[in-house]
Structure formats: C-alpha cells, structure tokens
C-alpha cells in the first residue's frame, strides 16, 4: 500500500471539479495515492469557498488541473488530416466542427487524442477531437487563478477515467467502467492505456432511488450498457472485458447485482482492497481522483491557457 500524500508537500498536484453547487477535489504528491474530498460551494460566493479550501489544505501556489464532467464539452471522431504534425492537429481540425457546434469554431477550445488503430475498422487513421466553449471555461479558470492556485491544464472525464481503468486492468484484457452521476452516467472502455469507447448513459439517480421507477430505470440502464458492449465487440472488433466495473453511490440498491441480472456480463464494484486504496473515493470524487492518477507528462488535456 502506498503512503498517503502528506499535506504541504511542495510537489502537490491539485485536481478540481467545480460544479454549480460543489467542489470535488483530489491532490497527489510523490508516489502517493491521491487524497480526495468535496464540499458545498454557494453559487453566490464561490471564490471564498475555494480560497478557504486552498488555505486549509495548504495548496497555495500548487499547479491545478480543472476536470470537466462530460456535460461541459463535446467529443467528435474525425479522420486525421494528412500533412499535419501532432502539435498542429487541434487548430487544424477546429474548423471542421462548424456543422456540429452550436457556437462558432473560433469560440472553441480544442484538443485531440488518438483513436486506437485497431478500432478504426478500415476507416483510416482517426482522432477524437474535444471541443469546449471558451466562454464557459473562462470563469472557472479565473476563479482557480484568483484563489492562489496555478492553472496547469484542463482534463476531460473519459481521459480521467482512463487512468483508473489502467490501474484496474491487471490482466491486459481491458476494463469497462460505468460512472453514475446525479443526472446521467458515463461508460468508458479502455485497454492498454487507450480509450476505445465513451458513451453517455441516460439515467438519473432519482429514478434509481424511486421504488416506483427503479425497475424500469435499471432495465433501461442495462440495455444502454449492453448495446455499447455489443458495439465494442461487433463494430470495433474487440474482445469484451471479463466484467463491468460500477462506480456509483449504491445506497442499499444492490445495483450491481440488479444490472448483472439483465446483462451478459457481470457488473461488479472495483476491488479497491487489491489496489490498496483506503479510503475509497466516493462517486462524486471519482473524476478528480482518477485524473490525479495520470502522470503530468502523459495526461491528454485541453491546455488551460487557451481558454484564459
């Protein structure tokens, strides 16, 4: 078991998800599992809340990564243009998004990450293009800078979850992760450090908790997951993982067992004990905690300065 990060470590890296009414955070240092937590953030005074958190945790001056949940950006798969170097791709493909965005491409912050070659099924080299509206990013970036942190990068949900999938994939067969939020879920399938598939799942925690709705909600969620797994196997030509890892606040619902009863694969909770993770990150902290697992020089992200 790796020792937990000690507060005040000058090598600290801070990862933040800034919601409409909350802050979820994770912090890591040299060779440590991340610590994480969350707190309420009144929408009328977010700066005071974040500044107080930075002061209490001893983060002043630390580099910070803003972690975006999937409802704050879009991802598109495009053919990789010929004749462009890796560093030129983000700007080179931005204008191809004009028919997909509901704002001008000039107002987009973009970056790219590759689609695995063996998932393109003869369609040539393809890339994933991440696009976020610059205006939507400016306030959280300014807030982070104002509260004593140094803005480093912006990470997106599927690439954060990819880090956790890599940690869980001890057999090399790949990992499917389902992360349930309050109003939707996200499925990612990763193998060998690469993201093969990401899907939004239309489900709400309220429906899963409501005794009159949960049966239908569980069946609908199982059907969405199963369709994505079938696509991964039949259309992308990949061998499915042995099970599906569920990240959710269960609250006595036995959700993993109920989903398993409606699917061909078993749905299980991650084996945190095998990883030596203690305490276990709550579902609301999964994204910043998972983002903190990535090495700074390999995390694919949107450069924060583009949106400043």
**Cβ–Cβ under 8 Å, residues 182 and 204:** yes
Q: Which two tokens stand for residue 173?
A: 């067969």
Q: Rounded to the nearest 10 degrees, how much is the dihedral formed by the CA atoms of 136, 138, 141, 144?
A: -100
Which residues, 6 or more positions from 300, have their beta carbon under 8 angstroms from its beta carbon? 111, 113, 159
Domain 72-134: CATH class, spelled out: alpha beta
Which residues, 6 or more positions from 14, have their beta carbon under 8 angstroms from its beta carbon? 25, 26, 27, 59, 62, 63, 64, 65, 149
Q: List, by residue range, all CATH 3.30.420.40 domains of the chain.
A: 13-69+137-156+290-307, 160-286
Domain 160-286: CATH class, spelled out: alpha beta
- The residues of the chain scoring below 70 in pLDDT are 1-11, 30-32, 120-123, 251-252, 295-308
What's residue 300's pLDDT?
41
Homologous superfamily (CATH) of 13-69+137-156+290-307 is ATPase, nucleotide binding domain (3.30.420.40)
> Residue 1, class by beta-carbon neighbours within 10 Å (0-12 exposed, 13-18 middle, 19+ buried)?
exposed
What's residue 147's pLDDT?
96
Q: Which two tokens stand for residue 31?
A: 């060779």
Among 301, 283, 306, 308, smallest CA distance to 13 is for 301
Q: List, by residue range, all CATH 3.30.1490 domains of the chain.
A: 72-134
pTM of the model: 0.89
What's residue 171's pLDDT?
80
Compute CA 38 distance to the chain's CA centroid, rounded to the nearest angstrom.
16
């Amino acid at each position: 078991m790796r020792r937990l990060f000690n507060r005040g470590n000058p090598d600290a890296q801070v990862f933040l998800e800034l919601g409409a009414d909350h802050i979820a955070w994770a912090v890591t240092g040299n060779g440590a599992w991340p610590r994480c937590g969350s707190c309420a953030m009144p929408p009328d005074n977010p700066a005071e809340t974040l500044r107080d958190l930075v002061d209490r945790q001893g983060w002043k001056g630390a580099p910070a990564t803003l972690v975006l949940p999937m409802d704050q950006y879009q991802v598109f798969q495009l053919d990789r243009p010929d004749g462009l170097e890796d560093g030129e791709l983000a700007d080179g493909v931005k204008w191809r998004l004009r028919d997909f965005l509901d704002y001008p491409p000039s107002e987009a912050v973009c970056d790219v990450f590759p689609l695995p070659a063996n998932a393109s099924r003869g369609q040539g080299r393809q890339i994933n293009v991440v696009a976020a509206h610059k205006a939507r990013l400016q306030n959280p970036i300014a807030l982070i800078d104002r509260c004593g942190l140094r803005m480093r990068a912006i990470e997106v949900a599927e690439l954060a979850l990819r880090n956790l999938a890599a940690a869980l994939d001890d057999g090399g067969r790949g990992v499917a992760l389902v992360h349930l939020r309050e109003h939707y879920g996200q499925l990612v399938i990763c193998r060998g450090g690469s993201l093969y598939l990401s899907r939004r799942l239309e489900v709400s925690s309220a429906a899963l908790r409501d005794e009159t709705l949960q049966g239908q909600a569980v069946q609908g969620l199982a059907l969405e997951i199963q369709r994505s797994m079938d696509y991964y196997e039949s259309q992308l030509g990949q061998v499915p993982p042995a099970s599906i890892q569920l990240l959710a606040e269960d609250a006595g619902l036995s959700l993993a067992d109920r989903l398993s009863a409606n699917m061909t694969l078993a749905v299980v909770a991650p084996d945190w004990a095998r990883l030596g993770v203690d305490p276990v990150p709550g579902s609301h902290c999964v994204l910043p905690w998972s983002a903190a697992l990535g090495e700074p020089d390999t995390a694919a992200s949107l450069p924060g300065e583009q949106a400043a």
